[in-house]
A and B are shown apart, each in its own frame.
Chain A
Amino acid sequence: MSDITKQSLTELVENIKNKKLSSTDVTKAFIDRSEKSEELNAYITNDFTSAIDKAKKFDQKPNLDLKLPGIPMAVKDLFCTKNIKTTAGSKILNNFVPTYESTVTENIWNEGAILLGKLNCDEFAMGSSNETSFFGNVQNPIDKNLVPGGSSGGSASAVAAQLTPITIGTDTGGSIRQPASFTGIVGLKPTYGSCSRYGIVAFASSLDQAGPMAQNVKDCALLHEVISSYDPKDSTSVNFKRNHYSKELTNDIKRKKIGIPKEYRVDGMPKEIEDLWQKGIQYIKDCGAETVDISLPNTSYALPTYYIVAPAEASSNLARYDGVKYGFRAKGENLIDMYEKTRSEGFGAEVQRRIMIGTYVLSSGYYDAYYLKAQKVRKLIKNDFDEAYKKVDAILTPSTPSSAFKIGEKTNDPVSMYLNDIFTVPVNLAGLPGISIPAGHDSNGYPLGLQIIGKAFDEQNILNIAYAMEEKINFKNKITDWWIK
């Protein structure tokens, strides 16, 4: 079957379950396509040889009751995988081999999936274009020299290019939803506390969440069901009753109230984005739901707040990279000199920039003015959502203020790069779930996404809305395989 890689996760699971396909067939097909797609630079490390072994082993004694029976899957290289190199896209972890497995990936393997390899990402997940990776930038399969977004750029590229049937990314300020939007796929950032952070290389611990990136909403719901679990190994994991998200998925969203926040109509937003949003509102109505105008008055303060909170947490989290127990080490004249040179040579420019910002806002005399202030504004932003959710069930916004941009276009201006996350960051600050679904194309034919934001732990509801809208939108990704010779 030559069209294996074109199938959705749901189709592949079905075909393996009714024995039309073997895990070996499927695994080989995705490896073959991945090997032909090196130009995309989506992988940092591949594990193809042992993936085929595992698939053959699965086929000898297939357990077809599992949710991901023999399904091959590549994952973002921010998840620690036992005995397999995990780099976080950084030189400083270039040779790091974890002795343990992240909970989220463990949940995936326990349901029968097979690791294909580790996917490229911005260094320590800091970036919106996958250009900060030590292992080079990733190409967007939509067009040559177009960024795939970031930080889960390799993940987005790999799903859109069908190098893996589905994947997981992480999202601290938009790192799942923005690349999903740039590559025409679906990406879910779950509620903070829904998926365990254990074994994920930490960036900003109060914001980081893992989530699925998929070709469609049903696949996304299925993977979310697998990865979301209560985990005592993560002190902020929340013990609540989780749904069977894929089984309970419905396109019946009649009488749901969807909020349209006026503050997301930002200055200088391209008309194409405004038009897309209006189309989204129409789709919502076509599904029998109603839209309600709402206000989230502190929206414009979200990005400045994020650029205090996230770097502050990052500067603390990244203090552990000192060249002593693991990772890269530079030569130094003494211990302090070794630390300073290791971190100077081991971290890339963006990571250093953020460590510097974080160190500054936490330093003596500045804590109250910056960090405490940001925590207070974060409270106001969360209050805005709490207030809105008294009136509505979910909120609809564009996912990003533009479509994907060219490689190199924004690398010299950090603030313009940061503005990419203007619609996604408030969701992380408030700890809410958000999903981006492909909803249209701009004049270049590049995909554009819409974001549905839900109440805390109400993933089922936003998945349902996304599912209903997906049917109306009937989006087709325009992939020409330009990178395959």
Chain B
Amino acid sequence: MSIDLKTIKHISKLARISVDEQRAKKLAGDLNSIFDFIEKLNELKTDNVEPLTSIAETTLKLRSDEVKSKNIREQIIKNSPQDNEDYFVVPKVIE
């Protein structure tokens, strides 16, 4: 199997990471060598094996929906990359 530049561009779109031509080439090389290594799994027959989906054999518990952290709005907003006291700011979405 070989991952070509077109596939790299497609994945980078899905992953929301912009890559230029040079980086795409480097990534294609890296991913191909990693997937060569991963292909080893095809040696194993696994048709009748149940997939392991969770290592902790616990069932997910429900909890009541209560507010526990109060009055931290200011601290939360302070972490946002664009300064604003009231809300998170993003580039214009609606033309």
Q: Which residues of A contact B (CB under 8 A)?
A: 95-97, 99-100, 192-193, 206, 232, 235-236, 238, 298, 300-301, 303-305, 307-308, 315, 319, 322-329, 332-341, 343-344, 347, 352-353, 355-357, 359-360, 363, 370, 372-380, 382, 413-415, 418, 430-431
A-B contacts, 19 listed (Cβ < 8 Å): A99-B75, A192-B55, A192-B56, A235-B61, A236-B54, A324-B80, A325-B88, A327-B79, A332-B91, A333-B91, A334-B92, A335-B91, A352-B27, A356-B31, A359-B11, A360-B11, A363-B14, A372-B51, A379-B49
Nearest opposing residue in chain A for B54, CB measure: A206
* A344-B18, A360-B11 known; A376-B46 Cβ under 8 A: yes
Residues of A within 8 A of B92 (CB): 334-335
Contact between chains at B63 and A232 (CB < 8 Å) = yes
Nearest opposing residue in chain B for A83, CB measure: B75
Interface string of B2-34 (1 = CB under 8 A from A): 010001100110111111000000010011011
Nearest opposing residue in chain B for A350, CB measure: B30
* A97-B79, A99-B69, A343-B16 known; A370-B38 Cβ under 8 A: yes
Residues of B within 8 A of A95 (CB): 79
Nearest opposing residue in chain A for B13, CB measure: A340
**Number of residues from B at the complex interface, CB < 8 A:** 50
Contact between chains at B38 and A304 (CB < 8 Å) = yes
Residues of A within 8 A of B91 (CB): 332-335, 337-338
* A324-B80, A338-B90 known; A363-B46 Cβ under 8 A: no
Contact between chains at B50 and A329 (CB < 8 Å) = no
Contact between chains at A377 and B61 (CB < 8 Å) = no
Query: Cα distance A206–B80 when bound, in Å?
Result: 29
Nearest opposing residue in chain B for A319, CB measure: B16
Nearest opposing residue in chain B for A379, CB measure: B52
Given A325-B76, A377-B41, 4 further pairs, Cβ under 8 A: A235-B60, A357-B31, A370-B38, A377-B49
Residues of A within 8 A of B11 (CB): 356, 359-360, 363
The answer to the question of B72 belonging to the interface, with a C-beta cut-off of 8 Å to chain A, is yes
Contact between chains at A353 and B31 (CB < 8 Å) = yes
Q: How far is the CB of A233 from chain B (nearest CB, A)?
A: 9
Residues of A within 8 A of B44 (CB): 298, 301, 377, 380
Contact between chains at B34 and A96 (CB < 8 Å) = no
Q: How far is the CB of A454 from chain B (nearest CB, A)?
A: 15
* A235-B61, A329-B81 known; A375-B17 Cβ under 8 A: no
Contact between chains at B46 and A206 (CB < 8 Å) = no
Among candidates B19, B34, B55, B78, residue contacting A344 with C-beta atoms closer than 8 Å? B19
Contact between chains at A373 and B46 (CB < 8 Å) = yes
Query: Cα distance A377–B44 when bound, in Å?
Result: 8
Nearest opposing residue in chain B for A363, CB measure: B14
In the complex, how many residue pairs between chain A and chain B have their CB atoms under 8 Å apart? 159
Among candidates A301, A338, A357, residue contacting B34 with C-beta atoms closer than 8 Å? A357
Contact between chains at A327 and B33 (CB < 8 Å) = no
Contact between chains at A382 and B80 (CB < 8 Å) = no
* Nearest 5 Cβ contacts at the A-B interface: A375-B51, A329-B81, A431-B55, A326-B79, A340-B18
Residues of A within 8 A of B67 (CB): none
Query: Cα distance A388–B44 when bound, in Å?
Result: 20
Nearest opposing residue in chain B for A329, CB measure: B81
Among candidates A206, A341, A377, A414, residue contacting B30 with C-beta atoms closer than 8 Å? A414
Nearest opposing residue in chain A for B10, CB measure: A363
Nearest opposing residue in chain A for B37, CB measure: A415
Contact between chains at A325 and B51 (CB < 8 Å) = no
* A353-B27, A377-B41 known; A340-B61 Cβ under 8 A: no
Nearest opposing residue in chain A for B26, CB measure: A349
Query: Cα distance A351–B38 when bound, in Å?
Result: 18
Contact between chains at A415 and B33 (CB < 8 Å) = yes
Q: How far is the CB of B30 from chain A (nearest CB, A)?
A: 6
Q: How far is the CB of B15 from chain A (nearest CB, A)?
A: 4
Nearest opposing residue in chain A for B38, CB measure: A304
Nearest opposing residue in chain A for B55, CB measure: A431
Contact between chains at A343 and B81 (CB < 8 Å) = no
Among candidates A307, A327, A373, residue contacting B81 with C-beta atoms closer than 8 Å? A327
Query: Cα distance A99–B16 when bound, in Å?
Result: 27
Among candidates B51, B56, B88, residue contacting A238 with C-beta atoms closer than 8 Å? B56
Q: How far is the CB of A266 from chain B (nearest CB, A)?
A: 14
Query: Cα distance A335–B95 when bound, in Å?
Result: 12
Among candidates A238, A329, A341, residue contacting B82 with C-beta atoms closer than 8 Å? A329
Query: Cα distance A204–B18 when bound, in Å?
Result: 23
* A324-B90, A326-B81, A329-B82 known; A352-B17 Cβ under 8 A: yes
Q: How far is the CB of A311 from chain B (nearest CB, A)?
A: 9
Query: Cα distance A183–B1 when bound, in Å?
Result: 39
Contact between chains at B46 and A430 (CB < 8 Å) = no
Query: Cα distance A193–B49 when bound, in Å?
Result: 24
Query: Cα distance A308–B90 when bound, in Å?
Result: 33
Nearest opposing residue in chain B for A311, CB measure: B34
